[in-house]
Amino acid sequence: MLEIRELTRRFGELTAVDQVSFEVPAGQMTGFVGANGAGKTTTMRMVMGVLGIHGGEVLWQGRPITRLDRRTFGYMPEERGLYPKQPILDQLVYVAQLKGMGRTEARSQVQELLERFGLGDRTKDHLEKLSLGNQQRVQIIASVLPKPAALILDEPFSGLDPLAVDSMVDLLREYTRDDIPVLFSSHQLDLVERLCDRLVVLAQGRRVAAGTVSELRDAGVPRFRLVLGGDAGWVRDHHGLEVLDLDGATALVEVRQTGAEQQLIAEATSRGDVHEFVRVRPALSEIYREAIA
Amino acid sequence: MSTPRPSSPPLRSPEQRHGDPAMSTPRNAQRSPGSSGPAWLLVTRREVVSRITDKSFLLGTALMVAMLVGFIGFTAWQDEKTDTVTLGATPEGLAMARAIADAAPEVDDKVEVTLVELDDQVAAEAALGEDEVDAWLHPVADGWELTSESSEQDSLTDVVRVVVRQQVLAENASASGTTAEALEAGSAVSTDFLRGDAEKAAVAQAVGFVFVFLFYFAALIFGMQLASSVIEEKQSRIVEIIAAAIPLRHLLAGKVLGNTALAVIQLLIYLAVGLVGLSFTPYKSYVPALSGPTVWFIGFFLAGFVALACLWAVAGSLASRTEDLQATSTPLTMLMLAMFFGGVSLDGRGQVIASFVPPVSAVVMPKRILAGGVEWWEPLVALGLLAAFAVVTVWVGERLYRRALLQTGGRVSLRQAWSAAE
């Protein structure tokens, strides 16, 4: 498990990351969301030791993280990063060697990965000659070499078409199945919702929400939708509720007093037909908007 | 990106697919570091290999060797060849012209004068205009005149001056009842050097220029290359992947060592070609005398190059895009120019002082060694100072490089880099 504890980073007067704490449990995909400049990249760079830490700490398996630990992490920086004018095989072997693999071992593993990604016949091509999607594949190979202990991916989905996104998702799921913690940042909330086990929301350098997706969706004031056989106007006069929306037979209410929804359903059934009574959980995008507001 | 075979997950090695959970625990994923040798060595190797397999680098080196061979060949040929000039003379100057043609080989053995008889001034000017003759000799009121079309015939002019002077002096002397020898007695001025001779000094001057040029050339070309490869890494963000894997100190060391190795290899090739080439020319007797200073030069080159390479790496790390390099490297380019002009033009006391001041000493001291008259301890002291300077730039450079390299978003000023928190 990767733990981030009260991590802080300042750039001059600006506190880019302000006492941010969260966890990336093993075998779970943790999505890192926030507006531009919220501090996601800065946090990830601190976790990777690429940027100095001004306060707080990063724990790996319960103890302070070391350089050797980080060496086993797979890292994909924002905007990617490999040599544009070097053959892909050579540079992947180089990256693997920097991470401590032997040359022969690195070569065979890279070759194998390239083949599995359909790039087996392009090993001598320069990176810049590949299509963007293929460059992305090379990039992901670079971050998973050698077998990573954790994955820290900054915007891994940006610029990918839907198919490529699916393929990347499959790939990440494989790692979580192997009990590897995966932290990735993204702007695409729908994707995060679909993909993540957990979510961390940053706004202006502070953590404004964190937890599993269902925890977050259940966290707010409960809301219910009621659909009746007849007009629902009477709901307005019901105690302990706030009517958010009323449209003919349909009412959307927020519970102000515990148990008020039970009284509401009792009254509704006594008045006539009830077609629908359901808890409404906000979409992630709503939670996100509320969190960063 | 589509997974090629959904049935076989791309990132599981066969063992894992056969269910060896231990393989995937983080503890086992941590490989023993250093199985490929130290990180700086890996970086060095990449720098050298990626450069040596680069066609433009190979082509540049080959071109330089070809130019060197060509230059040496041309110089040797220029030295050996005989200048053949055609001298035209109208009847009143014919006797003198004949005397010149006869005496030319004695005056300058590389000049051969062919005589062409011309009828009059009109014919002479026509002949000049049509390049039938290179010059026309004719008497004027106070002596003789050598007319050529538009450019002076240097070697011919010298010969004509000497011969005409001898002839006229002899005539004038006999008219005064004496001899030319009697008139000239005691007027000869000859030159002498306490060390070596004129030709040796000229060779030292020329080789000294070559040393300065080679250093300037290598420091600039490899420096620029080093700086732009730093930017390439910074701009493509691969530096973050590298920084997460190895200390940045190793990255810098590897890059500086790789480029130094390349520069020294290239230098050795040039020097070998130069010295071997020289041994095929009339200057071959100087080759043994040049090898000592050349060895010193390689030593100075090495220390000077390392010192500057670190600064070039800093120039690269301060930029965030290739376009910024122009600005961030200006102080260094200025320093290079100062070294070049200092190396070429300083002499006397200025040269002695500069030969101890790093980094200029890297080019000035080898030049002084070439000229001779340097105490045995002087190169040692200069080299020691240069090496100390290199240690300082490596230390300062490492700090600046490390801090500027991971700063993104625009150019980083030196002050920012120095005081930035890591």
Of chain A, the percentage scoring pLDDT greater than 90 comes to 27
pLDDT at B324: 85
Cis, peptide link before residue A84, omega less than 30° from 0: no
Q: Which of A94, A97, A160 sits opposite B1 (nearest CB)?
A: A160
Interface contact flag, A100 B12, Cβ < 8 Å: no
CA B143 to chain centre: 47
- For residue A250, report the phi and psi dihedrals to the nearest 5 degrees: -110, 135
Residue with tokens 């679909």: A194
- What is the rounded CA–CA span in Å between residue B343 and residue B250? 33
Give me the CATH number covering residue B160: 3.40.190.10
Strand B83-89: give its sheet, edge to edge.
Answer: B111-117, B83-89, B135-140, B143-148
Q: How much is the pTM?
A: 0.75
Residue at B238 is within a domain: yes
Beta-strand relationship, A150-153 and A206-212: unpaired
Residues A21 and A144 in one domain: yes
Residues A111 and A194 in one domain: yes
* Closest residue by Cα to residue B260 from B317, B209, B298: B298
Residues A205 and A245 in one domain: no
What is each CA distance from B329 to B117, B226, B253, in whole angstroms? Answer: 64, 11, 20
Residues B268 and B136 in one domain: no
Domain that holds residue B116: 82-179
Residues A122 and A164 in one domain: yes
* The residue type at A28: Q
Residue B343, C-beta contacts closer than 8 angstroms, at least 6 positions apart:
B208, B211, B212, B215, B216, B360, B363, B364, B367
Residues B165 and B201 in one domain: no
- What is the rounded CA–CA span in Å between residue A225 and residue A280? 7
Q: What is the pLDDT of residues A132-182, one digit of tens each?
A: 878 888 888 888 887 889 999 998 888 777 877 887 888 888 888 999 999
* The residue type at B156: L
Distance from CA of A88 to the nearest CA of B (A): 12
Interface contact flag, A78 B237, Cβ < 8 Å: yes
* Closest residue by Cα to residue A226 from A269, A276, A281: A276
H or E element in which residue A115 lies: helix A103-116
Residues of A in contact with B13 (CB under 8 A): 109, 112, 147
H or E element in which residue B119 lies: none
Residue at B191 is within a domain: no
Structure tokens at B402: 């490390």
* Closest residue by Cα to residue A145 from B40, B14, B31: B31
Chain B residue with minimal CA distance to A84? B236
Residues B171 and B284 in one domain: no
Interface contact flag, A117 B10, Cβ < 8 Å: yes
Domain that holds residue A257: 220-292
Chain A residue with minimal CA distance to B53? A86
Chain A residue with minimal CA distance to B8? A116
pLDDT at B77: 80
Q: What is the pLDDT of residues A223-241, one digit of tens each?
A: 899 999 888 888 888 888 8
* The residue type at B120: D
Residues A224 and A200 in one domain: no
Structure tokens at B37: 């040798």
Number of domains composing chain B: 2
Answer whether A280's CB lies under 8 Å from A195's CB: no
Tens place of pLDDT per residue across chain B (422 aa): 444 443 334 444 433 433 333 333 333 333 344 456 788 899 999 999 888 888 888 998 899 899 888 888 887 787 777 778 888 888 888 888 888 888 887 777 778 888 888 888 888 888 888 888 888 888 888 888 888 877 766 778 888 888 888 888 888 888 888 888 888 888 777 766 666 667 777 888 888 888 899 899 889 989 999 998 998 888 888 888 888 888 888 899 999 999 999 999 999 999 999 888 888 877 788 888 888 889 999 999 999 999 899 889 988 888 888 888 888 888 899 999 998 998 888 888 888 999 999 889 999 999 889 888 888 899 999 999 999 999 998 888 888 888 887 776 667 777 777 776 65
Q: What is the pLDDT of residues A6-43, one digit of tens each?
A: 999 988 888 889 999 999 999 999 999 888 888 899 99
Chain B residue with minimal CA distance to A176? B24
Residue at B62 is within a domain: no
Answer whether B371's CB lies under 8 Å from B201's CB: yes
Residues A241 and A132 in one domain: no
pLDDT at B264: 92
pLDDT at B21: 36
Q: Chain B neighbours among A 170-199 (CB < 8 Å)?
A: 170-171, 174-175, 178-180
- What is the rounded CA–CA span in Å between residue B364 and residue B369? 9
Residues A120 and A167 in one domain: yes
Work out the angle between the directed axes of helices B55-80 and B39-52 (0-180°, nearest 10): 60
Residues A232 and A101 in one domain: no
Q: What is the pLDDT of residues A62-97, one digit of tens each?
A: 999 998 898 889 998 887 678 888 899 999 999 999
Distance from CA of A46 to the nearest CA of B (A): 10
Give me the CATH number covering residue A141: 3.40.50.300
Interface contact flag, B241 A137, Cβ < 8 Å: no
Q: Which of A52, A146, A160 sits opposite B29 (nearest CB)?
A: A146
pLDDT at B195: 60
DSSP letters of A74-102?
EEE-TT----TTSBHHHHHHHHHHHTT--
pLDDT at B400: 85
Distance from CA of A272 to the nearest CA of B (A): 53
Structure tokens at B191: 């030159």
Residues B396 and B280 in one domain: yes
Interface contact flag, B5 A103, Cβ < 8 Å: no
Residue B374, C-beta contacts closer than 8 angstroms, at least 6 positions apart:
B365, B368
Distance from CA of A293 to the nearest CA of B (A): 27
Structure tokens at B114: 């062919």
- What is the rounded CA–CA span in Å between residue B219 and residue B228? 14
Whether A137 and chain B come into contact, CB under 8 Å, resolves to yes
| Residue B85, beta-bridge partner list | B113
Residues A14 and A107 in one domain: yes
Residues of A in contact with B247 (CB under 8 A): 67
Give me the CATH number covering residue A270: 3.30.70
Beta-strand relationship, A63-64 and A55-60: antiparallel
Structure tokens at A43: 């946090």
pLDDT at B2: 44
Whether A108 and chain B come into contact, CB under 8 Å, resolves to no
pLDDT at A23: 92
Number of domains composing chain A: 2
At B104 the three-state DSSP class reads: helix
